[in-house]
Structure 1
């Protein structure tokens, strides 16, 4: 019996995966209807409706990653800034797992900004079925690995300027490392160390050397629109090999959802935007210093585990629990829409057509406009 329970534990991610991905065609249909209805209205009205829809969907996601999973979240640093008031921010963080994207939701919902998240994304994600097309409509920006923009720079700048012109609330998310830190990819870590060595930088052990382009252009065009930069350092429990004491790959979404009592440790540093240098050379030095601090924090986190202590960052922490009222209504609503869509022959046919043709049309549109 015990072995059956353990085996079933490994499949706890199936229901969340089915609901989150399964409701995407319904979401795309709702977004498309709103896009048509708001076509004759000012763009800021469309944006407000779009942000509301995105908030509902992301709260559904959070239902599984907080309520369903029983995640315990430890917050360190400038925690009061998160709860004090709503702010427009540029969010930077170390990047090590697909769950990092969910952590953004976890923090934004606590400030009432979950519908206003935008991302600087890798260019390859533009062809992600349904999501790639929608992210562009939501105001996200695609950047190639070499730091060049997948569309002409004028289009990117116009999108950022629109946020400012229409006074759109925004959390602009940038992962300066460009790719995830993964101990199973030593060649990527080696390249990062070589990059840092050639420039006389800190010898990064737990992060990759940061790149600048996405953050730089976001800062340049949102300078007088955002209030602060949220510099976030993230660590996962159970990311140390108990036998060797070495860091292992951080859990992906399925692994995180099947883990027993997962913990997240999040260190927040709020930096007033006026304190961020705008000169390119100074900005590079500033970013390298931010990631040096992250590396030292993570070294402390993983070092404490090696000494037999509980993994944690230095300083006091707050355990933050999200009330079910923030996620359950979205879960019930989205599941109801999904069930109703699949209950009739017409609804089922429309659902699969939206999934198929919506994906094809979105990918074609992204290819034509690249």
Structure 2
């Protein structure tokens, strides 16, 4: 515990201090600018969110030196960040969301990268609050409650002023071996293809997203993440420790207009995509690469270096001036207050790390199959997981 605290404390202080500043400005803009012009608010908030997310991109790219190898065709690579898109991805590691942010940053749309998240995420200090200001969609994993929330949130994106990505993890929870065994048992009981590397997708949220986004989002990015055999798993804790990893990303672009029209057909399309994704991961496991596609490379972002350096100079100057003005460290009470503040930051960082860990994620419950009046089996579990 003490060693971990020493590792994360300096970065934690830096991140939370700058993050609280960003949150404060976001709140001011939300109260005073958004009622007058939602478009202006979104443009300003896009820049503010990017200032915060770039710190995590810097940790990913430069502090830990995680390598992202992107396998896709040149046309998809050219269009990334230049169009509205629904992003569907397997939920393989603790930091899939951060891989998405890094890809969005390299494509020029980090400030307008959105996601469908579980409701508890918005209460995370700094990160969750900024997601809320940035119009992320928060669900309770209960379709009776979430259907209208998702629909209204998707409809609000119609007039989004810049190209955005909306990420949707249709497996509904992060991959673990225990969850895979449960998915395999369920698939066997229902006569479905037995998954080996993915979980069974929960399609109601995906169907709703396609239905509501058809007219203004031209593409779906089908993303498959894989970790090479010789690479340590990328986790938040490993990132803060500066431990490098390698992530392979396969991207296939589907035109929204080419998807089936009916909800049932869209749901089946999603399931078929995950069967194909499972087979693709089998090939990756055998070859340790997505060799069928060309390897594309944006390179690491220098913008994150500039932003982090600027934040560091601003915060160091501010802290020195504050200490000079307050004489905080010249009394026992001031020292105790400082130690308490550092302890709070340490606790918050541990909460963030624990929240991101796959083994601590809550799996959606899969209900037993029920038979409807028509005699067709219901699509189980979709009321709990999207």
The TM-score bracket by the shorter chain reads 0.7 to 0.9
Q: Deviations over 1:96-139 (max 9, x none)?
A: 22211111112112221111111101123233234334323311
Shift of 1:283: 1.4
Query: Which residue of structure 1 aligns with residue 58 of structure 2?
Result: 63
Report the count of equivalent residues. 328
TM-score under structure 1 normalisation?
0.78
Distance 2:5 2:71 in 1: 31
Q: Deviations over 1:234-292 (max 9, x none)?
A: 0123478xxxxxxxx94311124546542110000000111222422111211111111
Query: Which residue of structure 2 aligns with residue 205 of structure 1?
Result: 196
Distance 1:87 1:238 in 2: 34
Match of 1:225 among 206, 216, 225: 216
Conserved 8 A contact 1:120-1:214: no
Query: Which residue of structure 2 aligns with residue 110 of structure 1?
Result: 106
Q: Which runs of 5+ in 2 are unaligned?
A: 329-336, 349-386
Distance 1:109 1:136 in 2: 19
Conserved 8 A contact 2:59-2:239: no
Matched, 1:298 2:307: no
Distance 1:194 1:122 in 2: 25
Shift of 1:321: 4.8
SS, match of residue 328 in structure 1? helix
Alignment of 1:35-46 (within 5 A): 35-46=30-41
Conserved 8 A contact 2:197-2:281: yes
Shift of 1:13: 5.5
Match of 2:121 among 117, 125, 136: 125
Conserved 8 A contact 1:182-1:250: no
Q: Which runs of 5+ in 1 are unaligned?
A: 1-7, 241-248, 305-310, 360-370
Alignment of 1:47-58 (within 5 A): 47-58=42-53
Conserved 8 A contact 1:26-1:337: no
Deviates more, 1:97-106 or 1:9-18: 9-18
Matched, 1:32 2:65: no
CA RMSD for the aligned pairs? Answer: 3.1
Shift of 1:221: 1.4
Match of 1:288 among 271, 289, 295: 271
TM-score under structure 2 normalisation?
0.75
